[in-house]
């Protein structure tokens, strides 16, 4: 890049990266700041942040709210289950699409994404009716099924592309060594494409975690996801204190961020060492 654009010195590159980072991180940093400061400090102009007034009491207060904790738990359960289900079903679907001579596989692949082109808003009434018929309204399982249905096509596409990159001979070697096709998938293809599979899993988790619309309509009391709870907190319980809302927001942010941090090391390891097939 430096040679193609000589005016772009390494220093300038770092400055650009820093600017981009500021752009994405600043709002989060601001919420983080809000969550540990009294409201008066950051609503005044200019803001006057006081280190000696920094406190975690808003976090304590948020975590003392049973409904919010229940929502966190719901989202964790639903997102984790959706992620596992998406990767399992996705791998089992993507493998034959990538490897076997499945008739009409392009038609299937096209249909699966075309279905996703319909705006979610339009599907919400039929979804509601279906879940009501199944007696799955306001349940973890109901949300898991709906989220999986929505994320699975993307997961299949992503995994199919990763699986296609695995040389045929690697799978043939596994089958010669004693694996069934399923065994070769589990013991060789998935481990070899682990960085891609992990990235796909994270994608599914975040997709399920951040979902709002379906959670709002399909859940009322028992299985309210944290995104929905957050929005209701803004207007009800926490109306008096913005710091509480900020702390709740930070807590809602934590699980996906933690997941990415834990798995990112794994992804990076795969990338750094390189997948030499």
**Binding footprint of other proteins on the chain (CB under 8 A):** 167, 169-170, 172-180, 183, 188, 191-192, 194, 273-277
User: Which CB sits closer to other proteins, 175 or 239?
Assistant: 175
The end-to-end CA distance of the chain, in Å, is: 29
Q: Please state the closest distance from residue 175 (CB atom) to other proteins, in A.
A: 5
User: Which CB sits closer to other proteins, 196 or 255?
Assistant: 196
Q: Please state the closest distance from residue 184 (CB atom) to other proteins, in A.
A: 10
Beta carbons of 54 and 42 less than 8 angstroms apart: no
Q: Please state the closest distance from residue 69 (CB atom) to other proteins, in A.
A: 39
Nearest Cα neighbor of 230 from 246, 206, 218 is 246
Q: Please state the closest distance from residue 189 (CB atom) to other proteins, in A.
A: 10
User: Which CB sits closer to other proteins, 121 or 272?
Assistant: 272
Nearest Cα neighbor of 151 from 82, 212, 249, 227 is 82
Q: Please state the closest distance from residue 270 (CB atom) to other proteins, in A.
A: 9
User: Which CB sits closer to other proteins, 6 or 274?
Assistant: 274
User: Which CB sits closer to other proteins, 188 or 202?
Assistant: 188
């Amino acid at each position: 890049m430096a040679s193609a654009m000589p005016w772009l010195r390494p220093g300038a590159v770092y400055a650009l990266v820093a600017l981009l980072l500021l752009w994405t991180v600043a709002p989060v940093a601001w919420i983080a700041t809000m969550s540990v400061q009294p409201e008066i400090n950051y609503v005044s102009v200019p803001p006057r942040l006081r280190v000696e007034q920094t406190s975690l009491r808003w976090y304590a207060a948020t975590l003392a709210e049973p409904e919010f904790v229940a929502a966190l738990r719901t989202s964790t359960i639903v997102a984790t289950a959706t992620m596992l289900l998406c990767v399992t079903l996705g791998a089992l679907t993507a493998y034959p699409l990538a490897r076997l001579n499945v008739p009409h596989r392009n038609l299937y692949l096209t249909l699966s994404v075309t279905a996703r082109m319909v705006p979610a808003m339009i599907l919400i009434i039929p979804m509601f009716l279906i879940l009501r018929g199944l007696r799955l309204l306001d349940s973890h399982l109901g949300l898991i099924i709906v989220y999986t249905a929505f994320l699975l096509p993307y997961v299949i596409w992503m995994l199919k592309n990763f699986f296609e990159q695995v040389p045929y001979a690697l799978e043939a070697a596994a089958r010669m060594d004693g694996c069934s096709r399923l065994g070769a998938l589990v013991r060789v293809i998935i481990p070899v494409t682990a960085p891609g599979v992990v990235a796909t899993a994270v994608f599914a988790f975040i997709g399920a975690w951040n979902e709002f619309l379906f959670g709002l309509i399909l859940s009322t009391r028992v299985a309210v996801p944290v995104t929905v709870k957050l929005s209701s907190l803004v207007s009800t319980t926490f109306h008096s204190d913005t710091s509480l809302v900020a702390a709740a927001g930070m807590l809602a942010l934590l699980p996906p961020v933690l997941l990415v941090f834990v798995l990112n090391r794994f992804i990076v390891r795969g990338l750094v060492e390189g997948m030499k097939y």
